[in-house]
């Protein structure tokens, strides 16, 4: 694995590990699930820290090689649109008194944003990750509408597991080729 690819995998582990940690913090769960979510959150954060170590070890030369101004702009636009849609949607749901469904919306938006990011980041596996996140959002919505289980429990746990799994996979690819 070249330095650029190693750096990209480290960044993937770093970012998705952090976001997995955040998603594991969404659900309000009772023991023993709460303890499992805390442990998973800690392991996801450890994955993120190991990703940061990979990024630092690849050094500045790999960072310079990885710079693509056009891709950086596309990335920025995609993330800005994602953020705007998530915030405006969350505000609309809260205004309507449907705050319980904010995690569903945010998870779906995050899943959808991976589709246009896949070619920008040159990572075709982001598309199935995005699809899986959209399915988690749908599952959270269905469960919340048909039972007493909160959508945030389903979505936070599911999204956390998917993002952490992808972060760990990225980290393992750097270890395998080191």
Pick the residue with more confidence: 41 or 2?
A: 41
**Encoded tokens for 67:** 């710079």
pTM of the model: 0.93
Q: What is the pLDDT of residue 66?
A: 54
Distance of CA 144 to the CA centre of its chain: 22
103-131 confidence digits (pLDDT tens) = 999 999 999 999 999 999 999 999 999 99
Cα–Cα distance, 155 to 38 (Å, whole number): 16
In this predicted structure, what is the pLDDT of residue 45? Answer: 98
Q: How far apart are CA 149 and CA 126, in angstroms?
A: 29
Least confident of 1-15, 92-106, 124-138: 1-15
Task: Give the pLDDT confidence score for residue 174 in this predicted structure.
Answer: 86
């Amino acid at each position: 694995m070249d330095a650029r690819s190693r750096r990209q995998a480290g960044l993937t582990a770093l970012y998705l590990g952090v976001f997995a940690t955040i998603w594991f913090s969404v659900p309000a769960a009772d023991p023993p699930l709460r303890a499992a979510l805390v442990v998973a959150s800690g392991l996801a954060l450890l994955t993120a820290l190991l990703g940061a170590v990979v990024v630092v070890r690849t050094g500045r030369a790999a960072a310079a090689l990885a710079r693509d101004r056009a891709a950086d702009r596309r990335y920025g636009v995609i993330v800005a649109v994602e953020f705007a849609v998530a915030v405006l949607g969350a505000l609309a749901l809260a205004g309507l008194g449907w705050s319980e469904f904010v995690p569903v919306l945010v998870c779906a938006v995050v899943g959808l944003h991976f589709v246009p990011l896949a070619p920008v980041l040159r990572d075709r596996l982001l598309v199935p990750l995005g699809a899986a996140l959209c399915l988690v959002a749908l599952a959270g919505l269905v469960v919340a509408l048909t039972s007493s289980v909160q959508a945030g429990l389903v979505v936070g746990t599911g999204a956390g597991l998917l993002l952490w799994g992808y972060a760990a996979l990225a980290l393992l690819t750097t270890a395998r080729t080191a």
